[in-house]
Amino acid sequence: MDDCSAIRKVMHPHLDGELDAKDSMRTQTHLTACPSCREIFLAEKEFLDLLRKHLTPSPAPPSVRVRVASVRSRDVRSDHP
- E strand or H helix that includes residue 8: helix 4-9
Residue 36 in contact with other proteins, rule: CB under 8 A: no
Identified binder of other proteins from the candidate list 4, 6, 12, 25, rule CB under 8 A: 12
Q: Is 62 in the site for other proteins (CB under 8 A)?
A: no
Q: In terms of C-beta density within 10 A (0-12 exposed, 13-18 middle, 19 or more buried), how is residue 15 classed?
A: middle
What's the CA gap between 63 and 37, in Å, rounded?
A: 48
For other proteins, the binding residues (CB under 8 A) are 8, 12-13, 16-18, 39-40, 43-44, 46-48, 50-52, 54-61, 63-65, 67-68, 70-72, 74, 76-77, 79, 81
